[in-house]
Structure 1
Amino acid sequence: MAEQTEALGVASGVPGEPFGGASSVPGEPLTCLHSPRPTRLGEGRRGLLAWAVAALVALVLIGVAGALLAPVAARTDFAQANLAPTLEHPFGTDWMGRDMLARTLAGLATSLGVGIVAACASSVIAFVLAAVAALGGEAADAVVSWVIDLVMGIPHIVLLVLVSYALGRGATGVMVGIALTHWPSLARVLRAEILQLKAAPFFSASRAIGVSSLRLVATHVVPHVLPQYLVGLVLLFPHAILHEASITFLGFGLSPEQPAIGVILSEAMGYLTAGSWWLAVFPGLALLGTVLLFDRLGSALRALVTPQEVQR
């Protein structure tokens, strides 16, 4: 018995202590004295989950507040035009007396709506093309890879402006343009995941017994790539929102009648020289904060679905 205990101690690196420092007092249960990693892993996951929930709640509140304040954002009062930030108007007012806080929240709600629709459409395109490339044979893989390289070789903003302008601009043109230009990176990730799944023995066995490709996608591919798909979908939102604001600012996106951050920033450029700095500063900071919230949400979800990335 003593020889077995000594052997266990040597294997664990701690002479005389079995299993790396577990208590061996007679009559007491074995307890591990050197296992802080599971605790840190659990604490890290709880912290990441809290960050993800907080970011999601904040984004939902921004969208709801913007939708509710849309009528207030359109209300004009020329008697209160170009007012600096005050308690009554925390973000000040514009040249038509409209409250900039209400306009900013309404603009963020519009940008969130456009970004969500465009990002969802782009992620579906990425999944379909990734599945075709991974499961359709060498010819399909070569064609999809060539299309991915082609789209990634053109700057996003240039291709987005061309697509939006060709479709008559507006919300539809912006959403279609974002959907057609933001899928390549996610498609590459999903293609690699599906190829890894395709090499598994059970996948080959399913094909050997005659299971159809559609059923394989529904029963094996979708559950396997769902975590990566959701993370990629969330990380598409900040790109979609920023690019929507960019082309709207340049005049190729949403119409001036729609409340959007790009419209607000574009209109504010003509009043900065007159000292109305709040017309651009607060909407710009609000846009930056929203993008950072999406980025934090995506990073937290990516760490949650990839346990080895959780270090604290």
Structure 2
Amino acid sequence: MTNTTTTQTAVKRTWNNMRTKTLILLGIVLVVLLVVLAVGLTMHPDLYSSHLTGKLQKPSGAHWFGTDYLGHDMFHRTIRGLALSILIGLGASIISGVIAIVLGTISAVCSGWIDKVVLWAVDLVLSIPHMVLLLLISFALGGGVQGVIVAVALSHWPTLTRVIRAEVLRIKTSQYVAQSRSFGKSGVWIAFHHVIPHILPQAIVGIIMLFPHAILHESALTFLGFGLPLDSPAIGAILTDAMKFIATGQWWLAFFPGLLLVIIVLLMFTLGDNIKHLLSPQTAQE
């Protein structure tokens, strides 16, 4: 009895610690994203516009991240670029998540030829090299914000679709669903009381984990010249310009934008991983 009580206390303590850690991390991430968005989107264009009299200045009190070859203040330009990347990543990950939820649910519920078509589409998209697919879609749509969002959204749904499909199939064959059917519950009732509550955590975690991928791929597309215009204050465009000057000693042009991009991505990955462990039944029972 004592061992059981001790085990239950340890599990409860572990659960509380994990929940507290996740909530703190969630608060940090939200504050960072909101600050970057608020500052970046409300920033006056003069702050990140060119000033030829102050080009290629090293980081200082006047210019925290230095200036580039056109005199752009790199701090303000980087924050503006991150705000654009966050908006594009958010839109692309939500669209991709919705596609995955719809296709995964339909595939598991309908089965038959519909299931085969969805699985064929998943295998088809996964068989194409990821970056090649991104480039093809973005190029076909003419690049820009719309092209990047559609390219990222249409290339990131397959893995989450498989996860949602597997979860719905597990729920369909569970004992409590069979009991609900035996009590005369309708399919709609079962969907709202059993299916949706169970796949919602998987969907939330999946969309969160898609978000950093979307940001990175948006920057990569712009860096390669297939995304946002190179004269826009986007992280990919900033890094493209920076490559021309690294060899001549202007290290700050790539270092600070790249560092902030990595920090945002790592924060989102860590948040998604914590939420996944928090919502996992196996973790809760350990």
- Cα distance, 1:200 vs structure 2: 2.5
1:138 and 1:146 map into 2 onto residues whose CA distance is 13
Worse-superposed segment, 301-310 or 198-207: 198-207
2:185 and 2:195 map into 1 onto residues whose CA distance is 16
Counterpart amino acid of residue 258 in structure 2: G
What secondary structure does 1:178 align onto?
helix
1:78 and 1:205 map into 2 onto residues whose CA distance is 74
Retained in 2: the 8 A contact 1:170–1:254? yes
Deviation digits for residues 35-72 of structure 1 (CA, Å, limit 9, x no counterpart): 43322332232122212222222222222222133524
Aligned length: 284
Correspondences of 1:249-260 after superposition (within 5 Å): 249-260=223-234
Residue 64 (structure 1) aligns with = 38
2:272 and 2:155 map into 1 onto residues whose CA distance is 20
Larger Rg: 1
Residue 75 (structure 2) aligns with = 101
1:33 and 1:142 map into 2 onto residues whose CA distance is 49
1:232 and 1:194 map into 2 onto residues whose CA distance is 15
Residue 90 (structure 2) aligns with = 116
Retained in 1: the 8 A contact 2:48–2:74? no
Correspondences of 1:133-172 after superposition (within 5 Å): 133-172=107-146
Correspondences of 1:1-312 after superposition (within 5 Å): 19-20=1-2, 35-69=9-43, 71-204=45-178, 209=184, 211-212=186-187, 216-306=190-280, 308-309=282-283
Provide TM-score, normalisation by structure 1.
0.84
Retained in 2: the 8 A contact 1:131–1:194? yes
1:72 and 1:300 map into 2 onto residues whose CA distance is 40
Q: What's the Cα RMSD here?
A: 2.3
What secondary structure does 1:254 align onto?
coil
Residue 25 (structure 1) aligns with = none
Retained in 2: the 8 A contact 1:59–1:293? no
- Cα distance, 1:307 vs structure 2: 5.1
1:33 and 1:99 map into 2 onto residues whose CA distance is 58
C-alpha distance 77-309 of structure 1, shift in aligned 2 (>3 A):
same
Retained in 2: the 8 A contact 1:104–1:283? yes
Retained in 1: the 8 A contact 2:18–2:278? no
1:301 and 1:77 map into 2 onto residues whose CA distance is 45
What secondary structure does 1:258 align onto?
coil
Worse-superposed segment, 257-266 or 71-80: 71-80
1:21 and 1:93 map into 2 onto residues whose CA distance is 63
Percent identity for Structure 1 against Structure 2: 42
Worse-superposed segment, 89-98 or 302-311: 302-311
Provide TM-score, normalisation by structure 2.
0.91
Structure 2, gaps ≥5 residues long:
none
Counterpart amino acid of residue 193 in structure 1: E
Deviation digits for residues 67-120 of structure 1 (CA, Å, limit 9, x no counterpart): 133524432221111100001111001112111000000000000011111110
Structure 1, gaps ≥5 residues long:
1-18, 23-31
Retained in 2: the 8 A contact 1:70–1:102? no
